[in-house]
């Protein structure tokens, strides 16, 4: 795919992710009337998730009908297409439904298993994290700079967990982190936590098993700012998910040791 075609998608998707975030914010402001249902342990979906994803999917189809689509709520469409949009309409649904501000809209675009575009918009803080591969990563238009930390004791590590993950692996990760002077956050949105790695707020992120729509945009940002990630899309990670480790440049070795301690 030509650079110009990717750039046009990047510009259009920046407008779209903001529009989707503001649409989601309207639902967030009327939580008492929101219809929800349970998909599994600690796993909820609301009409807001579905409506925001529908809005994103329809807009993308009108702009780029030749592209494929993978959404958390609606699944796969045209995955044989050369370019595929990967969308989480509300990452951090539990936070969203409980009136917490750490949720976002996440949109990524991949071509031949390469993440070309990543966009994460957090409406409650009006922060837009954006990356086009090879063209830099920005936060509200300013270049993102990763942490300069060289050890786990020099910053915050994001750790994600859900009941679908391995308790044992997560406990091992916690043990290793604590024994090496580290501290952790779990704000409820993996997309935001990986954007925070790229922006220098965290030194790394780990989760035993995660879906592609939760993390592809953040992975692209970490890589673009010089950080390291495992090969998340290996072994059909797009469809089935994978473990995820991301790290600021200087924290690569320390985070890889945490990854190994967790059993990977």
> Which tokens hold the place of 105?
């809209």
Tens of pLDDT along 180-227? Answer: 999 999 999 999 999 999 999 999 999 999 999 999 999 999 999 999
pTM for the predicted model, two decimal places: 0.94
Residue 42's pLDDT is 46
Asked whether the beta carbons of 160 and 186 are under 8 A apart, the reply is: yes
Asked whether the beta carbons of 152 and 180 are under 8 A apart, the reply is: yes
Asked whether the beta carbons of 160 and 172 are under 8 A apart, the reply is: no
Residue 41's pLDDT is 52
Q: Which residue has the tokens 């890589």?
A: 223
Per the prediction, the chain carries an average pLDDT of 94
Rounded distance, CA 10 to CA 120, Å? 12
DSSP-based three-state secondary structure for 146: coil
Say which CATH superfamily domain 3-143 falls into. Answer: Fructose-1,6-Bisphosphatase, subunit A, domain 1 (3.30.540.10)
DSSP-based three-state secondary structure for 130: strand
DSSP-based three-state secondary structure for 241: coil
Helix axes 3-28, 47-63, angle to 10 degrees: 150
Sketch the domain layout of the chain as residue ranges: 3-143, 152-261
User: Identical fold at 3-143 and 152-261?
Assistant: no
Q: Tell me yes or no: is domain 152-261 CATH 3.40.190.80.
A: yes
Residue 39's pLDDT is 58
Residue 59: how many other CB atoms lie within 10 Å: 16
State the pairing for strand pair 156-159/204-210: parallel
Give the CA-trace dihedral at 235, 230, 83, 226, to 10 degrees.
-170
Helix axes 167-179, 252-261, angle to 10 degrees: 140
Residues of the chain with pLDDT under 50: 42
Give the CA-trace dihedral at 72, 75, 78, 81, to 10 degrees.
30
Q: Which residue has the tokens 């949009």?
A: 85
Give the CA-trace dihedral at 169, 194, 148, 264, to 10 degrees.
20
């Amino acid at each position: 795919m030509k650079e110009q075609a990717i750039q046009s998608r990047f510009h259009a998707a920046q407008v779209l992710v903001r529009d989707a975030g503001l649409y989601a914010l309207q639902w967030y402001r009327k939580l008492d009337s929101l219809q929800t249902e349970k998909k599994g342990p600690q796993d909820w979906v609301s009409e807001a998730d579905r409506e925001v994803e529908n809005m994103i999917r329809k807009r993308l189809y009108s702009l780029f009908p030749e592209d494929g689509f993978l959404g958390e709520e609606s699944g796969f469409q045209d995955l044989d297409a050369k370019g595929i949009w990967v969308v989480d309409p509300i990452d951090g649904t539990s936070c969203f439904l409980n009136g917490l501000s750490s949720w976002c809209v996440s949109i990524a675009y991949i071509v031949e298993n390469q993440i070309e575009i990543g966009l994460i918009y957090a409406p409650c803080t009006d922060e837009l994290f954006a990356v086009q591969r090879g063209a830099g990563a920005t936060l509200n238009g300013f270049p993102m700079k990763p942490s300069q930390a060289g050890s786990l004791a020099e910053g915050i590590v994001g750790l994600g967990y859900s009941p679908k993950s391995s308790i044992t692996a997560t406990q091992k990760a916690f043990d290793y982190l604590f024994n090496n002077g580290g501290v952790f956050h779990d704000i409820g949105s993996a997309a935001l936590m990986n954007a925070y790695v790229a922006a220098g707020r965290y030194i790394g992120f780990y989760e035993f098993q995660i879906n592609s729509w939760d993390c592809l945009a953040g992975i692209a940002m970490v890589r673009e700012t010089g950080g390291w990630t495992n090969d998340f899309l290996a072994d059909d990670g797009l469809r089935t998910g994978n473990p995820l480790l991301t790290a600021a440049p200087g924290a690569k070795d320390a985070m890889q040791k945490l990854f190994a301690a967790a059993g990977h």
